[in-house]
Structure 1
Amino acid sequence: MDWSKTKSIFIVVFFILNLFLLTLMINKLNANNLTNLPNDTVEDLLSAESITYTKQENEVIEAYLLSAQSKQFTQEEVRLLKGQTVEIKNGSILTSELEEPIPLNEKNTVDDFFDILERVGVLYYEKYDYVTIDNAEGVVTFYQTYKDMPIYRNKSIYAQLLFYFNEDRELYAYEQTLLEDIEEFNDKKELLGYGQAVSTVVNQRLLQPNSDVKIDLGYHTSVQLESNFHVLTPTYRLIVEHNGQEKDMVYYVNAYEGKILDISTNDEVLE
């Protein structure tokens, strides 16, 4: 066996492996370099890119992880719903078709929609707060909240009320999901600053110069241990408006670590 040749091959292989590991480490450092900068430095970098952002008035500094379970609706609850045809799917999804559609107008406010929920008799409607409307799809979405923070929808969790309206702007049906047994656990942890959350998206080359970003804070799935049990992490929702885009982009950023959890397009938020 030619040991000299074999030795040379091993040296080349180890060199390539070390180069690969070094590349991974550099990429990881580059992915996190902005989120680790002081807030004032981040602000300077965003200003250089002409990126502005607006945030909630009372910035949350620390927050807990949450555990929760998907509510299982019962036939006893269904019997409370009058003037509608109700079905339970997979135990946790309640669907309803109204016997008499409810007309909307062009300027319905959040209070108007909650008056409708009360009139229809929607179960646990008081647990929902945050409202968006998608006129193209004909859907009004009410998000479940926890301590005034919305629980964002994603692929593994549903905690919302979807009301559907037709071309005549009449509410005719709804679909409901809900989380229950919500509990805080582990120690309260410090969150990234709003500017650091924006810089995460900038650093991934997902945010163009001259963009305007609106930020709010809610919860997004971190871990789903089984079909009905969920772990939720504090999450920034960044709605990005940029000239030339047909629809605003939305980025969900883990408020602890700065990782992008999900990307979608935006619906109109009702104030």
Structure 2
Amino acid sequence: MDWNRTKSIFIIVFLILDIFLYSLYLKRYNEAQSVEIPGERTIETRLKDDKITYGALPSNESATYITGKVHKFTGSDFPDKNQQANINGTLAHVVFINPVKLRNINDNTSFTEFLHTNVKEGDSYALWKVDREERVAIFFQKKNNQMFYYNESASLKIKWNMDDEVIMYEQTMIDNIEEIEQQETVIPPLQIIQTLYAKGLLKAESRITHIKLGYSTFSNLTQTQTQVLIPTWEVQVKLADGESEEYFVDAMEGKIIDIQEDKQEGEEEDWGVE
């Protein structure tokens, strides 16, 4: 018997059971909290009084916990002779021998077109951010068009030169993605907004410009390179002074998720080139 494999299976099974029981508890708690008390102002009224606005909200969203294995790259992942890959296990740093011209750096579709043509499983990533001053574009891996937010094992970054030619990219990837449970309806966006408001995170005269469902990392079982990901609401807010903030909330349990450390690591990496 392979004891290490058996032990890993038990760890995952008990983790799934813990997630299910805790989710059930929190769901009942949230239902109790959402019951309106006669005489209290509704969340819509409180937001209106503070001049906090939002547009159309997603409806009837459903999701489930998922697992996946962190991909270990090999030379066979990069058959293109124009790409020189330096592989460090789960991280691939790829340099183009002959840089690849981008169609138009002012058009974001140019970056997704580049991935489609030049990167392994490029269509499984979605564009997150473009820094044209630093000439870097950041992508997050996705499943069913839902991003894996700031996951260091599921991201891709490209770097281009002053001639608008891609000179290199770095890639990590999760594969063998499977759903743990049946799909179920997640906490609705308005209740997520209520959670942020109750925590004092939504400032007066701000506007919620974007709210979308994706995934964040719940746990990383390093022994088996397995990750458990949880459905997560991403909320972007524009303040009265023009500054922007973003928040991430567990879509099953309603907890605010702090992923600032992962965010900073993802955005502050030094490419070591000019």
When normalised by structure 2's length, the TM-score is 0.73
CA distance in 1, matches of 2:162, 2:35: 50
Please state if 1:65 is matched with 2:52: no
For 1:158 and 1:137, locate their aligned partners in 2 and report how far apart those are by CA, in whole Å. Answer: 23
Give me the whole-angstrom Cα distance separating, in 2, the residues matched to 1:55 and 1:126. 28
Structure ranking higher in strand proportion:
1
Partner of 1:193: 188
Please tell me whether the aligned partners of residues 105 and 111 of structure 2 are also in contact (alpha carbons under 8 angstroms): no
- For 1:125-164, what aligned pairs fall within 5 Å after superposition? 125-154=122-151, 157-164=152-159
- Tell me the SS of whatever aligns to 1:186: coil
Partner of 1:102: 100
| RMSD (Å), alpha carbons | 2.9
Q: Which has the larger radius of gyration?
A: 1
Equivalence for 2:83: 84
> 1:20 maps to which residue?
none
- 2:12 corresponds in structure 1 to none
Letter in 2 for 1:200: T
Paired residue for 1:205, among 189, 200, 206? 200
> Alignment identity in percent?
29
User: Which residues in structure 2 correspond to 1:26-65 (within 5 Å)?
Assistant: 36-37=34-35, 41-54=42-55, 58-65=58-65
- The 1-side partners of 2:43 and 2:129 are apart by 31
The amino acid that maps onto 2:204 is P
Structure-1 residue corresponding to 2:14:
none
Match of 1:7 in 2: none
Distance, in Å, in 2 between the alignment partners of 1:47 and 1:259 is 24
2:150 and 2:259 in contact (8 A); partners too: no
CA shift, 1:141, in A, is 1.6
Instruction: Show structure 2 runs of 5+ residues with no match.
Output: 1-29, 267-274
Q: How far apart in 2 are the matches of 1:42 and 1:62? A: 23
> Whole-Å Cα distance in 2 between the matches of residues 225 and 263 of structure 1?
18
Partner Cα separation in structure 2 for residue 123 and residue 113 of structure 1: 14
Q: 1:140 to 1:34 in 2, by over 3 A?
A: farther
Per-residue Cα deviation, 1:177-199 (whole angstroms, up to 9, x for no partner): 11111111124333111111122
CA distance in 2, matches of 1:177, 1:123: 11
- Match of 1:226, as an amino acid? T
| 1:254 pairs with one of 250, 257, 266 | 250
Question: Match of 1:173?
Answer: 168
1:4-23 alignment to 2 at 5 Å?
none
**TM-score, normalising length: structure 1:** 0.74
Q: Which moved more, 1:129-138 or 1:193-202?
A: 129-138
Query: Are 1:251 and 1:260, in contact at CA under 8 Å, matched by a contact in 2?
Result: yes
Deviation at 1:171?
2.0
Structure 1 gaps of 5+ residues are: 1-31
Contact 1:130 1:145 in 2 (8 A): no
Deviates more, 1:232-241 or 1:185-194: 185-194
Secondary structure in structure 1 of the residue aligned to 2:181: strand
CA distance in 2 between partners of 1:166 and 1:142 (Å): 18
Q: 2:270 maps to what in 1?
A: none
Q: After superposition, give the CA deviation of every residue in 1:73-118 in whole Å (9 maximum; x if it has no partner).
A: 112223x1221221111x11111111223344342232x2233224
Counterpart of 1:47 in 2: which secondary structure?
Answer: helix
CA contact (8 A) 2:68 2:178 kept: yes
Aligned partner of 1:29 in structure 2 is none
Q: How many residues align?
A: 228
Deviations 1:18-66 (A, max 9, x none): xxxxxxxxxxxxxx7997356x93222222221122356x534321110
Distance (whole Å) between structure 2 residues aligned to residue 117 and residue 148 of structure 1? 16
The offset of 1:239, in angstroms, is 0.9
Q: Is the 8 A contact 2:71 2:174 kept in 1?
A: yes
